[in-house]
Structure 1
C-alpha cells in the first residue's frame, strides 16, 4: 500500500474494523453496564476467533502472554515490523524477547511498565527492551504505532549511531541491557517536525513493500536514532533518571565527554548544582559506574584512538588525554588492556 505524507494522518486516523469492534464494546460497557452481559452473549464467537480479537470478559482465566521473536518474525524477511496500535483495545500485560518502540503520533497514551504507570504525550518515543512486563491503552482518538525490532538489529542500528566507547553509549547499554526492574527509555521530542517526518517515512516505507525494503528500513531506523541523539539527547527519561529524581544523566555524560581531561568530582557536582556526595550517588545509580571509572574510560578511549590513528608520541598522548605522568598512564593502560601502548599501536596500525 502506498500513501503520501499528506495522507498519512488521515490513514492513521481512520478506524479499522477491529478498532470499531473494540470501541463498541468499550462504550457499551461504560455507558450501559446493565445490558453489557447480554451483549457479550450475542457476540459471534467464530468472528472473534477468526480475527483473533481479544475480549477479556470471554476468557476463562487471566492472560499474560509471552511473545517470542522467532514466532513473531517467522516467514518475515525483514528485521522490523511496524503496526498501528488499535484504539480501544483492552489493555493486557505482556512481555517479549524483542525491542518495542512505541511512537505517540498524536494525543496521549496510557502505558504501564512493570506495574508503574506512565502517561505518554505526542512526540514521545518509548523504547521497551526485552523481558520487560508492560501494557498499553488508548481509549480516545489518540494515535500511536509500534515499531518491533529484532534484538540484534536494534543493537546494530542504535549503537552504530553512537561512538561505541562513548559515555552515552554505556549509559544506554546500562539502561537497556542490565536487569534493572522496569527498564525503559523515553525520548521526549514534542512537536519536532524532523522526528515526525522520519517516523512517517519509516512507516510508509514499511507499507510500500518495494524492492530493498529491508535495507531502507534499517537505514531509516538508524537515521531516527541519529536525529534523536543529535536533537534530543537531553530530553531523555529512564527508570534510572526517574528514580534518582533527575533527568540530567545524559547531559552530565555529554559534559564529561567534553571535559574529561580536567573534570573533577567536586567541580562537576558544583557545575550541575549538586553536593559532591549526592552527585556521586546520582552518577553511580544512573550509570552503574563511579565518576572515576567514567573518567578513566573516557581518557583511555581517547588514548586508544590516538594510538590507532596518529603518530603522536606517548608523552603527547598523555597531555592530550589529561594524564600528567606517562609512567602512570603506561601502567594503567597495560593493566586495563594487557598490552603496552606501543604494542597496542603496532597491532592496530599494522592492520
Structure 2
C-alpha cells in the first residue's frame, strides 16, 4: 500500500465503528434509545466483542493483557491499531505501554481522573497499569495507537534506555521504579515528517513482509528520536509527577552502564554521597533497594544472552558480574521459574516454531 492511500484506508469507517456510531446516535435520543437497545442481538454483541454496557455479559474489559493483541510465544514487540471512533468510554488499563497519536482531529482522555485534551499531532505515552478512558465521537478524527510490550521492551530497546532524555526517563520509571510517571504528551502539531513516519510504520505492519518485526522496531526508535529532536521541551507531564523521582533515575543510568562490576561504594563516590545515603536515596525514589535493581539489570542481560547467543552458562554468569555460576543459576530460577538452560531451550523451540510458520505462509 502506498503512503498516499493509507490515510484514505484508515479514514473509512470499519464495521465496529459503524455499529458504535449507530449506538452513539441512538443514545442521544432518549425516546429512541430504549427501542434501539431492545433491537440489538445480544449474541452478536458478545461474539464480536462489542462494548455495550446495557447488554449483560458483553465485552467490558478492565485490563488488556498481551494476549489481546500479541502472539504470546512471538518476539513481536509492537502492534499498531486504529482507535475505533464512537467507542463508548470505558475505564481500563493495559500491561503494555501505549502510544496514542492524533493523526487528525481531536480526542479527550481521562487519565487517572485527570482530563487530557488532545489535537492533531499530539503524542501521548501511557505507562502500564494506568487507568484511563478515551473519547472520540466524530467521523473526521483519526487516532492511531502503538502498543509496546513491556515484557520485551527492555531487550529490544536497551540501547535507547541508556540515553539521558525525557522519553528514556519515562520508560525507566515504569520499568525500574514503583513511582511511575503515568503519562507524557508531546505537541508535534502539523509536523508532516512525524505523520509520515507513523503512516509508514502502519504500512509496514499491514504488508508484514520478511523481517517486518525488526524493521518496525527500528522505525519506532527513529519515530521517538525525531519527536525528541523537535519537541523534547514542548511536553505535558502529570501535575503530581515528582521531579525528584526523575532526577533519581541518574542512579539507574549509571547502574545500567556499570552493572557488571559496580559496587554501592563506587556509585556513592561517583555522586559524592556516602554509601548509606545513596542506598536510602535509591530506595526512596524507586521503591526498590540497590541490590534488587542491580539483580534485575543483570538478569535482564542474562536473558538477552540466553536468547541470542550460544555462550555457556558459566560465561554468562561471569559476563553479568556473578563469579559463582551456581549463585547465578539460583537467582535466575527464583526470578524466572526455570533454570537458564531450560529457558534457552524453551526460547529456541519457540523460535523454531515461528520460523516454520513463516516458511509455510503463502507468498
Describe the superposition over 1:253-276 as per-residue Cα deviations: whole angstroms up to 9, x where unpaired.
xxxxxxxxxxxxxxxxxxxxxxxx
Match status 1:284 vs 2:244: yes
Q: Is the 2:103–2:120 Cα contact (8 Å) retained in structure 1? A: yes
Divergent runs of 4+, >6 A: 328-331, 333-336
In 2, the alpha carbon distance for the partners of 1:71 and 1:297 equals 31
CA RMSD of aligned residues (A): 3.5
In 2, the alpha carbon distance for the partners of 1:89 and 1:113 equals 17
Q: CA deviation at 1:130?
A: 0.7
Q: Is the 1:158–1:225 Cα contact (8 Å) retained in structure 2? A: no
In 1, the alpha carbon distance for the partners of 2:229 and 2:194 equals 11
Q: CA deviation at 1:171?
A: 3.5
Q: Is the 2:107–2:118 Cα contact (8 Å) retained in structure 1? A: yes
Q: What TM-score does the superposition give when structure 2 sets the normalisation length?
A: 0.64
Q: Is the 2:50–2:59 Cα contact (8 Å) retained in structure 1? A: no
Describe the superposition over 1:18-47 as per-residue Cα deviations: whole angstroms up to 9, x where unpaired.
1111101101111x2112111111112232
Structure 1 residue aligned with 2:310: none
Q: In the superposition, relative to structure 1, how do residues 182 and 110 fare at CA in structure 2: closer, same or farther (>3 Å)?
A: farther
Q: In the superposition, relative to structure 1, how do residues 99 and 11 fare at CA in structure 2: closer, same or farther (>3 Å)?
A: same
Q: In the superposition, relative to structure 1, how do residues 176 and 194 fare at CA in structure 2: closer, same or farther (>3 Å)?
A: farther
In 2, the alpha carbon distance for the partners of 1:62 and 1:190 equals 35
Q: Which has the larger radius of gyration?
A: 1
Match status 1:134 vs 2:97: no
Structure 2 residue aligned with 1:145: 144
Structure 2 residue aligned with 1:43: 40
Structure 2 residue aligned with 1:237: 236
Q: In the superposition, relative to structure 1, how do residues 297 and 157 fare at CA in structure 2: closer, same or farther (>3 Å)?
A: closer
Q: In the superposition, relative to structure 1, how do residues 120 and 333 fare at CA in structure 2: closer, same or farther (>3 Å)?
A: same
Q: CA deviation at 1:187?
A: 1.4
Q: What TM-score does the superposition give when structure 1 sets the normalisation length?
A: 0.66
Structure 2 residue aligned with 1:67: 64
In 1, the alpha carbon distance for the partners of 2:125 and 2:23 equals 30
Match status 1:53 vs 2:50: yes
Q: Which runs of 5+ in 1 are unaligned?
A: 245-281, 305-327, 337-347
Instruction: Please list, as runs of the form range in 1=range in 2, the aligned pairs for 1:71-86 lying within 5 A after superposition.
Output: 72-74=69-71, 77=74, 78-86=76-84
Q: In the superposition, relative to structure 1, how do residues 155 and 234 fare at CA in structure 2: closer, same or farther (>3 Å)?
A: farther
Task: Give the 3-state SS of the residue equivalent to 2:54 in structure 1.
Answer: helix
In 2, the alpha carbon distance for the partners of 1:148 and 1:98 equals 7
Q: Size of the alignment, in residue pairs?
A: 265
In 2, the alpha carbon distance for the partners of 1:130 and 1:331 equals 31
In 2, the alpha carbon distance for the partners of 1:175 and 1:234 equals 19
Q: CA deviation at 1:229?
A: 1.4
Q: CA deviation at 1:56?
A: 1.2
Instruction: Please list, as runs of the form range in 1=range in 2, the aligned pairs for 1:176-215 lying within 5 A after superposition.
Output: 176-177=174-175, 178-180=177-179, 183-215=182-214
Q: In the superposition, relative to structure 1, how do residues 22 and 61 fare at CA in structure 2: closer, same or farther (>3 Å)?
A: closer
Q: Is the 1:105–1:143 Cα contact (8 Å) retained in structure 2? A: yes
Q: CA deviation at 1:65?
A: 1.5
Q: In the superposition, relative to structure 1, how do residues 62 and 23 fare at CA in structure 2: closer, same or farther (>3 Å)?
A: closer
Q: Is the 2:51–2:58 Cα contact (8 Å) retained in structure 1? A: no
Q: Is the 2:100–2:143 Cα contact (8 Å) retained in structure 1? A: yes
Q: Is the 1:87–1:138 Cα contact (8 Å) retained in structure 2? A: yes
Task: Give the 3-state SS of the residue equivalent to 1:21 in structure 2.
Answer: helix
Structure 1 residue aligned with 2:342: none
In 2, the alpha carbon distance for the partners of 1:159 and 1:127 equals 18
Q: CA deviation at 1:167?
A: 6.0
Q: CA deviation at 1:329?
A: 7.3
Q: CA deviation at 1:195?
A: 0.7
Task: Give the 3-state SS of the residue equivalent to 2:128 in structure 1.
Answer: coil
Structure 1 residue aligned with 2:291: none
Q: CA deviation at 1:14?
A: 0.5
Q: In the superposition, relative to structure 1, how do residues 172 and 37 fare at CA in structure 2: closer, same or farther (>3 Å)?
A: same
